[in-house]
Amino acid sequence: MPDRRTKERSASAPYGALAGKVALVTGSARGIGRGIALRLAQEGARVVVNYRNDRAAAEGCVAAIVGFGGVAEAVKADVSDPNAVRGMLRKIESSAGRLDILVANAGIAPVERCLAKVSPALWRKTFETNTAGAFFCAQAAAPIMVRAGTGSILFVGSVASRLGGNIGPHYAASKAALGGLVAWLARELGPAGITVNLLEPGYVETDISAEFYRTAASRRRLRADVPLKRTGKIADVAAMAAFLVGPQARYVTRERIAVAGGR
C-alpha cells in the first residue's frame, strides 16, 4: 500500500498531469508494471490493471489505487493471444470510451544463459510474450488512439537489448526487437498525434529479478557495474514512464530511454 508521502501526494490525483486520461498497463499485477500503474493513477489517470494469472495481485493493485482516491479496474488477458488482446481493448473502449495511454510492460524472463540450452520452445515462449504480446497490444490500441487524434504508446524493454544482460540470449533478443517496432510505429502513427517510445530499465529490484539480489556479494557485484553505484528502484522506472506518456513529452517520440544508472 502507498506510504504516507504517496497518500499525501496523490490527494490531488484527479487534478494531476494525466487527469481525464485512460491508461492500460499490461502485466501490472506486480513488479515494474504495478509501479507504473500506481504512478499513472497518482497523476490522475484511470488505470486498467492487466494480468494473466494472478487475479489476487491485480486486485491488490486496484485496491491500492482506489485506496488513495484513484480509479482502476483489473482486466484479465494473455497478451500473447491476439484474440484476448482485442477483447480486452474492446472492453476498455466500451467501458471508458477511450484509451489515451498504452504501457506494454508484460514480459517473462526465464533464465538460461547457455546458448546451446535455449530450446525452440523457450525461444518461442519468450518472444510470444515479450515481443508479439507488445505488438498485439499496440495493434489493437492504435485504432482507438487514431480516432481520437492523440495517444501515447510506451514499450518496456531492457538494457539487455544493448548489453546482453544476465538472463539469456532469448530474452535479450526479444527485448531488442522492440527497438525496431518503436522505430516503425513512431513513423506510422506520428501523423495521428501518437507518440511511441521505448523505456529500457537496467538492474531494478523486482520479484522477477530476485535471484540476482539474494546475497550481499551479488548485490555488491551489481552495484559495481553501475556508474551511479546503486541498483534501480521501481519508482525510478515509474517516474520516467509517467513523464514519457505525459503532456511534457508530447514532442518526444521514437526514443529509447534507459533508466539504468549509466549502464
Q: Is 171 a catalytic residue?
A: yes
Count the residues in the chain.
263
39 contacts 21 by C-beta, under 8 angstroms: no
Q: 149's torsion region: left (phi>0), alpha (psi -120 to 50) or beta?
A: left
- In the Cβ-directed half-sphere of 125, how many Cα atoms lie within 13 Å? 10
Cα gap 245→253, rounded to integer Å: 10
Query: Order of strands across the sheet with 194-201?
Result: 71-76, 46-51, 22-25, 101-104, 151-156, 194-201, 256-259
Decide: 195 and 149 in contact? Cβ < 8 Å. no
Distance CA 53, CA 166 (A): 26
Cα 254 to chain centroid, rounded:
16
Amino acid in position 198: L
Catalytic hit among 15, 171, 203, 251: 171
Q: Which residues are known catalytic residues?
A: 171
